[in-house]
Amino acid sequence: MRTIEHWIGGAATRAGSTRTAPVWNPATGQQQADVLLASPADVDVAVSAAAKAFESWSQASLTQRTRVLFAFRELVHRHARELAEIIADEHGKVVSDALGEVQRGLEVVEFACGIPHLLKGDFSDQVSTGVDVYSFREPLGVVAGITPFNFPVMVPMWMHPVAIACGNAFVLKPSERDPSASLLVASLWSEAGLPDGVFNVVHGDKDAVDALLDHPDVGAVSFVGSTPIARYIHERASANGKRVQALGGAKNHAVVLPDADLDFASNHLVAAAMGSAGERCMAISAAVAVGAGGDGDRLVEAVAAKAAAVRVGPGRDEASEMGPVITAAARDRIAGYVDTGERQGATVAVDGRGLVVPGHEDGFFVGPTVLDHVTPSMDVYRDEIFGPVLSVVRAGDVDEAIALINANPYGNGTAIFTGSGEAARRFQRGVRVGMIGINVPIPVPMAYYSFGGWKDSLFGQSHMHGPEGIAFYTRAKVVTSRWPRVEHPVAASYHFPTA
């Protein structure tokens, strides 16, 4: 059995790790590797390597840093297919979808290539006679990233290109379920000329995470994952005096108004609910059918027809549109939710339970599932299922839909399908959600904006990448300076300085 190692100080290493966890191939249901699980001592080795590398990397000129970033950008671009295939084999998503993830990560690298411009400070001339004021930003030191299984390349890339461009050293603790892509990324950083120790990968579980949260030399923690863990990370790292941004789970609603084009809306709804087997934090998991009963029935009919036609199969098969879910436990949990939904009164319009893919009988497959007549009190509505399950709820008008969304504890993303500018504008102003799509089902902001939700989808103040990413990974200095022509006798005043 292959063993997946850590990457510390510019090389793959076992460090002192003795524990391992299995890495599955979700399409076959077979174990394909063991991943090492770092102990606190292993984490300390990685943080020490990063702290040492920070001393010189933080002093590297902007030109040197930018050259490494451009070289890294070229290498990721060149290895995109290889990265996508690693993702497909460990996560399960189809290769075309994995290529999309790599592309969205690459866009953050491209954003970070503009670091000389992004780090420019302010300058105010002659704020008082002979006095100037200016500001600049400095890196924090060693910063850590703890990431989820569902985007093993893109989510870490929301963090490390920006952190490294700002002059920090980075320790990544990727998901132990699909750990291999991070190692290829580490070797690409090395090939791009990044000094050893600036980017490190430690694999692990709670032990490794807690060691990072408690380590005195880790200055900031970026986390993406489920809401209970995000809340925990934020509390523990904040109590240790660290800067923290912790992005949590989601329940994203798409509102469909009666004036929307039914074909357009239902196609996009199904793709946004079932793509990546629903394992996206921006997946649409609740559709809000607005209008009289007939409008909702027409939407469910169109959505059900499309969902039932989705081609489910292994991620490596080009004919597949949707792959398996991450583990057997996830498959069983998702099927359990559908059972509960049915018991609590939902209508199963499309049933993905028990799907068997010929030739992949042991794979972790769940078929697209559509539940109708779902109400806010049902478990399928209240919880994040994180699988290919779309719950349809009904609302009388757009204001009722907005109220429904605002009553939900999550606030990551939402979308509206409509032909009415007035309704769309009311919606964008009314919802308490961080990322909003208007006739766009998955409104992931471009890299030069910042990504993040509200409410239980975010703990801490800062969103990721874009301007908020730069601010998160740096702190500002403001200098007040005077180069006087000194004339004696010198008269210093004892009152508080004013201009």
Known catalytic residues are 281
CB of 207 to ligand NAD, least distance (A): 9
Does the footprint of ligand NAD cover residue 249 (CB under 6 A)? yes
Does the footprint of ligand NAD cover residue 226 (CB under 6 A)? yes
3-state helix, strand, coil in the chain (%, to 5): 40, 25, 35
* Interface mask toward ligand NAD for 181-220; x: CB under 6 A: ------------------------xx--x-----------
Tell me if the bond preceding 139 is cis, omega within 30° of 0: no
**In angstroms, rounded to a whole number, what is the distance separating the alpha carbons of residues 202 and 35?**
10
Tokens standing for residue 402: 């907005």
5, 341, 357: which is closest to 182 by C-alpha? 5
Does the footprint of ligand NAD cover residue 250 (CB under 6 A)? yes
Tell me whether residue 203 or residue 268 sits nearer to ligand NAD (CB atom). 203
Place of tokens 């629903």: 278
Among 149, 189, 364, 417, interactor with ligand NAD by CB under 6 A: 149
- 401 forms beta bridges with none
- CB of 285 within 8 A of CB of 457? no
CB of 460 to ligand NAD, least distance (A): 12
- CB of 254 within 8 A of CB of 236? no
Among 13, 17, 66, 147, interactor with ligand NAD by CB under 6 A: 147
Query: Beta 6-8 vs 218-224: how paired, if at all?
Result: unpaired
Does the footprint of ligand NAD cover residue 155 (CB under 6 A)? yes
- CB of 71 within 8 A of CB of 109? no
* AA identity, residue 157: M
Does the footprint of ligand NAD cover residue 105 (CB under 6 A)? no
* Interface mask toward ligand NAD for 324-353; x: CB under 6 A: ------------------------------
* Interface mask toward ligand NAD for 424-453; x: CB under 6 A: -----------------------------x
Q: What are the residues whose beta carbons fall under 8 Å from the beta carbon of 485, sequence distance 6 or more? A: none
Does the footprint of ligand NAD cover residue 367 (CB under 6 A)? no
Tell me whether residue 57 or residue 149 sits nearer to ligand NAD (CB atom). 149
Among 5, 178, 372, 384, interactor with ligand NAD by CB under 6 A: 384
Tokens standing for residue 148: 């989820």
- Longest distance between any two alpha carbons in the chain, whole Å: 94
Q: Which of residues 273-302 bind ligand NAD (CB under 6 A)?
A: 281
User: In the complex, which residues of this chain contact ligand NAD (CB under 6 A)?
Assistant: 146-151, 155, 173, 175-176, 205-206, 209, 224-226, 229, 247-250, 281, 384, 386, 412, 453, 457
